[in-house]
Amino acid sequence: MLEAPAVLSAQPPAGESAGKRSQRHKQEIRNLDQWLKKTYLKSRKGKQKAAAQSQAEEWRQELLANHAKQCPEAEGVDAPEAGVTEETGMPTPAGSIPLKDDGERLSKAARRRLRQKERAQKEQAEMDAQIAEMRLNGGEDRVRENKEFDALLSPLSLCVKQIPSDGSCLYRAVADQLQRVGVSVEHRQLRAEAADYILAHADEYTPLLTEGIEEYCDKLRNTNCWGGELEISVLATVRSTPIVVYIAGMREQRYGGEGTEEALLISFHRSYFALGNHYNSVVPMVTKTSPVNAAK
């Protein structure tokens, strides 16, 4: 198992002011990005690079989640206050098992569902805090990248359709493209299809992952973890449809197909937010508005 960067386990200084905390968060983000680019991703190629990029996104997500937890304004969002029931507000012993209306203890299955619900609520709260931070920190890099996309897509009469930044942007972008060719599919279904394919070809993908394949696919299927080149390649194979990825300042990348089929078009943004890569859908331009902001 690959050891995570030390910044993910770093503890905040005692008595840190809000201003100092903000500066430290930004510096930790810069340090992680530099390490990922210059050390972790530098020598990897092909499928190893795709798997490494997926791992890098998970580390970025974890760092932002840690930052969100360190902000006092985020405290109390993840779960109901310990020792207080959610519906009545009456105190209960910490760690006690909730009771049904008739006083019976919940079954194991019910407790498991409750834990899953609480975990999902916590993960969503962390994701919301992360997205808010990324939106807040967007700046000059995003403006420059948007201009590069304008120059890249305008001659092709194409523009970027913005996709929600909830961690499932890749799958939502692919789902949007499939819908445009008459295939109705939810992004969760695409996650499940990718997970099923990777599990079915475990011998091929296990060496590329930095964690157990079952754990990897469980997160892929059931959380909002980011997708990358590995998942794009899998989706192109599963859907028997090539996927073309436009990248500002670079030649587009094609996954799957023989070069003649009509491809699904998406865009990859490094600076759409201050931290964390993002995918959008690429569609025909219908207005004279700037391509990056034309289609909502």
pLDDT at 213: 94
In angstroms, the CA 72 to CA 12 distance is 13
pLDDT at 80 over 90: no
pLDDT at 76: 41
Burial class (CB in 10 A: 0-12, 13-18, 19+), 286: exposed
* DSSP per residue, 163-215: ---SS-HHHHHHHHHHHHTT----HHHHHHHHHHHHHHTHHHHGGG-SS-HHH
Mean pLDDT of 95-99: 45
pLDDT at 107: 76
Mean pLDDT of 38-63: 76
pLDDT at 10 over 90: no
For 172-189, the pLDDT digits (tens) are 999 999 999 999 999 999
pLDDT at 165: 82
Enumerate the CATH 3.90.70.80 domain ranges in the chain, comma separated.
138-296
Q: How far apart are the first and last CA of the chain?
A: 41
pLDDT at 164 over 60: yes
Least confident stretch, 206-215, 235-244, 249-258: 249-258
Instruction: Give percent of the chain with pLDDT exceeding 90.
Output: 33
* Mean pLDDT, rounded, of the chain: 77
pLDDT at 140: 62
For 247-274, the pLDDT digits (tens) are 988 889 999 976 567 899 999 998 766 5
CB atoms within 10 A of CB 197: 17
pLDDT at 44 over 80: no
> In this structure, are residues 217 and 198 in contact, taking their beta carbons and an 8 Å threshold?
yes
CB atoms within 10 A of CB 211: 13
pLDDT tier at 63, thresholds 50, 70, 90: confident
pLDDT at 135 over 60: no
pLDDT tier at 295, thresholds 50, 70, 90: very low
CATH 2.40.110.10 fits 138-296, yes or no: no
